[in-house]
Structure 1
């Protein structure tokens, strides 16, 4: 069973609190919706929906429900652009980092660490589904933990450990056949992944277009996207008994999303994005002025 804390986290937060995440969870073009009945939005599925390697996995191959996430949900962005979006957390118009910086200016949440997974979707228009997670309240990553070692490791270490588990909740049989009802994959080995580390964040850009098979399966699923609900969990794979049991660092449910919900983001090199915590605007600048 999920703890009371995690059950509360499954629902979209109400206004009036002091947690910087409230602003970003309730904002964005893809809204936070009801876990069981929501459409065209996202929700946070409980960790127990995912079976991961248990304490005796290397001797008995047993898997157990994951339990609580290691990080808390901090919003989802569904973005569209003319070219591939890389390193979104470094952009001046990134609403998640702007909300955290606003809290920093007030002396709050100075130790918070943000983790972003940016699934880059190829096509006539480039799309990015960006999932944000953060440490709870004002806590840093736990020193020495598997997640801490992943964040501070090199790219080779990360590629061998970064794992996704998918659970199909709803969808037509053709998508379920292609994707599978429950599947796991080391993304760092199957696709090109690029890691961007800042002083208080790590972003993983996952280039789905780097695999012809993954691109074909995804485009099939996108053809039925308004009928598909899928859970995605992210974790660092355990390779030794001391690293067990495995734990999700975060999970997200995408609920019958509409492609047209994506927010357009400018990527033209000669344009500089200027933003504050309420809004952002695009200001054109000549290359020689930069």
Structure 2
């Protein structure tokens, strides 16, 4: 692979503000190496982009006294790529696989003594069907997450804490009215309470596998939306929900825009071990639909070596946040 020249982008380190910085070579390779390419934020198609935090309304500093929300500041973590994958069975713990390209890029950098403190955060939206699909969104920190932060508590917390705090904020940028009616133009939902989430904690990563098939409502809305996927552009922001005064204001962990994606652009990946959990068959996924909506499991992986875009259909029961136009 030819060396990737560093590029410039807004700093997403909450402590440093939004000044520009150089993107590390390993992260540039990860950003540009997926089957779903990075595209222009405003006019791109069949790809992904990084929407600014100002497009998302989150709980403000006076939320508990006045119920006010405000545009988010910059992301806490930097974008590190997107994978759009298909496989015979459900893909679990993709960052734990020996063939994961994003983790591979980081390890190559670390073998040269670079980015030794880097941490990866991934959200894997698992979509059931005759052929399973996964939309995997990667975010990274080059420096350790501050121990005093809410994000640190989330990364190092237990399953109950994570389930009670992991929130997605959806924003339909473009799409037919039927999708907007089903999903909502702007909605927030606690994923850990609405869907089955599995957390995989590695030495230098946390991956959240979100099983869309575990909710009949979310599964139905998702497959409706997939019928219009080439006409839909959606912003997704991931948040650790603030539930105490001192945790305000809320901040985005990271955000991604998926623009008019084509199902056929997914890369095929074999379902296998290599640190990943055993795959679930399509029949087993069908059974998951009738499983409880709030069950969760945490798996530790300490060895070295869609779409809840659509789950907002159950937003009113799963989250304290009402649907908002935005």
2:188 pairs with 1:181:
no
CA shift for structure 1 position 151: 0.4
User: What's 1:197 paired with?
Assistant: 201
C-alpha deviation, 1:250, in angstroms:
0.3
* 1:82 partnered with 2:88: yes
Q: Do residues 22 (structure 1) and 28 (structure 2) align?
A: yes
Shift of 1:5: 2.0
CA distance in 2, matches of 1:18, 1:149: 26
In structure 2, the CA distance between the partners of 1:170 and 1:58, relative to structure 1 (3 Å rule), is: same
Identify if the C-alpha distance between structure 1 residues 248 and 269 changes in structure 2 by more than 3 Å, giving closer, same or farther: closer
Report whether the alignment pairs 1:47 with 2:53: yes
1:11 is matched with none
CA gap 1:268/1:198 in 2 versus in 1, 3 angstroms: closer
Query: Within 5 Å, which residues of 2 pair with 1:92-171?
Result: 92-135=98-141, 138-171=142-175
* TM-score, normalised by the number of residues in structure 1: 0.87
Task: Tell me the CA shift for residue 85 of structure 1.
Answer: 0.2
Query: Residue 64 of structure 1 aligns to a residue in which SS?
Result: strand
The number of residue pairs the alignment matches comes to 258
Query: Structure 1: which 4+ aligned runs deviate by more than 6 Å?
Result: none
Shift of 1:143: 1.1
- Any gaps of 5 or more consecutive residues in structure 2? 1-8, 13-21, 277-326
Structure 2 contact 195–212 (Cα < 8 Å) conserved: yes
How far residue 142 of structure 1 moved from its aligned partner, in angstroms, is: 1.1
Deviation at 1:118, TM superposition (A): 0.2
Question: Which of residues 195, 218, 225 in structure 1 aligns to 2:222?
Answer: 218
| Match of residue 268, structure 2, among 264, 269, 273 | 264
- Provide the secondary structure at the position in 1 that maps to 2:25: coil
Q: Distance in 1 between matches of 2:269 and 2:71?
A: 38
Root-mean-square deviation (CA), in Å?
A: 1.6
Q: Quote the Cα distance in structure 1 between the aligned partners of 2:55 and 2:174.
A: 14
TM-score, normalising length: structure 2:
0.77
- Does 2:13 match 1:33? no
| Inter-partner Cα distance in structure 2 for 1:155 and 1:262 | 30
- 2:72–2:252 contact (8 Å) kept in structure 1: yes
How many angstroms does 1:144 deviate by? 1.9
- Aligned twin of 1:288: none
1:238 matched to 2:242? The reply is yes
Aligned equivalents of 1:182 and 1:147: distance in 2?
Answer: 23
In 1, the alpha carbon distance for the partners of 2:57 and 2:272 equals: 43
- State the partner residue of 2:297: none
Find the counterpart in structure 2 of residue 10 from structure 1: none
